[in-house]
Amino acid sequence: MEEVVQKKRMLSGIKPSGDLTLGSYLGAIKNWAERADEYDCYYFMADLHAITVRQNPADLRRRTLEQLAQYIACGLDPEKNTLFIQSHVHQHAELGWALQCYSMFGELSRMTQFKDKSAKNADNINGGLFSYPSLMAADILLYQPDLVPVGEDQKQHVELCHTIARRFNGVYGDVFKIPEPFVPKVGARIMSLTNPLAKMSKSENEDTGRVLVMDPPEVIMKQFKRAITDSDTTNCVRYDKENKPGVANLMTIYSACTGKTYDQIEQEFDGLGYGAFKPKVGEAVVETLRPIREETLRIMKDKAYLESVYRDGAQKASYVAEKTLRKVYKKLGFVAK
Ligand code: TYM
């Protein structure tokens, strides 16, 4: 008899709070797509998370659908991966609430992202922004994944998810599987092109320092031509994150897009300087994003197809999520429906 080998499970999500950037692509989706055949994959648009910051409803709706089209265009085949919209699977909000009761005030207060976002949204430091990591823990634990691929900025949240899961398991037995974060070696933290000390971010109104997945080639080339390199006068393409953060960031982007190592990049541009290097990075990014942009535009035209994908995805996701939620409710002592 043929042996059926159960695939390991992988899960991740992105907030549709802004248009997808090169950072989210290199730090997250690219790594999902590369492992799609190996794992049983669950990927979602984290719309519940997006509303922790005020959103324009029409933009949120458009971005959520565009993000789904981008997932597919990046190589996540809906036949092989479960792609869904977070708010369509009510179990996320429900487990999110339960896990808030197992997340400590001190732990949530220490989250770097909470501190950063509170500083940037001083007039809207709402409860959701504060308890966001409890909902993120629910997103993960509902599916009992083995691996959670994220960029560096989300690692702290995945670590808090471990703490919450261990706390819960400590009281109720082995309810949750403890997942591993997977942070890529190259591309886990892509920085702004105009401020290499700040993360390239989709939710900020900072047009000059970021590249969007949907930017046309001429815009991408312009962004790279005016990218900050560094203030030394060597004009030398060398990887030195501490002293040459701008050049290091461009080398990371080039490496992630071409697969070349930092040594190979240094050799390629030996004696050529930043003037030759910057447009080459731009070209590599244009060629990486071109097929994704074109495919996204094509898929976006087929609304019926997108609808069938997210409906199917929500159904498959709900089935798995409900099993976990029921187990949790039973452990907590809730009366069965
Ligand atoms: P979000 O939407 O801010 O970012 C989505 C993913 O992209 C990565 N990323 C980056 N990587 C490298 N360089 C950058 N400049 C860059 N910007 C973003 C992020 O690390 C992330 O992996 N809370 C999450 C979404 C989420 C989630 C989850 C993720 C909700 N539930 C459960 C994993 C598991 C977020 O806000 O990511």
Pocket test for ligand 1, best of 14, 85, 139, 250 (most atoms within 8 A of CB): 14
In the CATH scheme, what is the homologous superfamily, with its name and number, of domain 8-183+302-332?
HUPs (3.40.50.620)
Task: Round to whole Å and give the CA distance between 213 and 210.
Answer: 10
pTM of the model: 0.95
Say which residue the tokens 């910051």 belong to.
Answer: 53
Sign, Cα dihedral of 80, 86, 89, 92 = positive
CA distances in angstroms from 209 to 48, 85, 217, 220, listed in the order given: 27, 29, 16, 11
Per-residue pLDDT of 8-34, as tens digits, reads 999 999 999 999 999 999 999 998 988
Q: What is the four-CA torsion angle of 195, 200, 201, 207, rounded to 10 degrees?
A: 60
Cβ of residue 255 lying under 6 Å from some atom of ligand 1: no
Conformational region of residue 144, where left means phi above 0, alpha means psi within -120 to 50, and beta covers everything else? left
Question: How many degrees, rounded to 5, is the angle at CA 172 between CA 166 and CA 175?
Answer: 65
| Confidence grade of residue 252 (pLDDT, cut at 50, 70, 90) | very high
- What beta strand segments (E) does 238-315 contain? none
For ligand 1, say whether the CB of 140 is within 6 Å of any of its atoms.
Answer: yes
Work out the angle at residue 43's Cα, subtended by the Cα atoms of residues 283 and 159, and round it to the nearest 5 degrees: 95
Instruction: Say how far apart CA 129 and CA 55 lie, in whole Å.
Output: 13
The structural domains of the chain, with segments of one domain joined by +, span: 8-183+302-332, 207-297
Note the pLDDT tens digit of each residue in 314-326.
Answer: 999 999 999 999 9
Of residues 35 and 138, more confidently modeled? 138
What is the pLDDT confidence band of residue 83, given thresholds at 50, 70 and 90? very high
Q: Check pLDDT > 60 for residue 218.
A: yes
If DSSP states are collapsed to H, E and C, what string results for 178-223? CCEEECCCCCCCCECCCCCCCECCCCCCCCCCCCECCCCHHHHHHH
Q: What is the pLDDT of residue 308?
A: 98
Q: Is the C-beta atom of 12 inside 6 A of ligand 1? A: yes
Element (H, E) at 80: none
Residues acting as catalytic residues: 117, 199, 202
Placement of tokens 């030195």 in the chain: 240
CATH of 207-297, one of 3.30.50.10, 3.40.50.2300, 1.10.240.10, 1.10.357.10: 1.10.240.10
| Position in ligand 1 atom list of the atom nearest CA 17 | 2
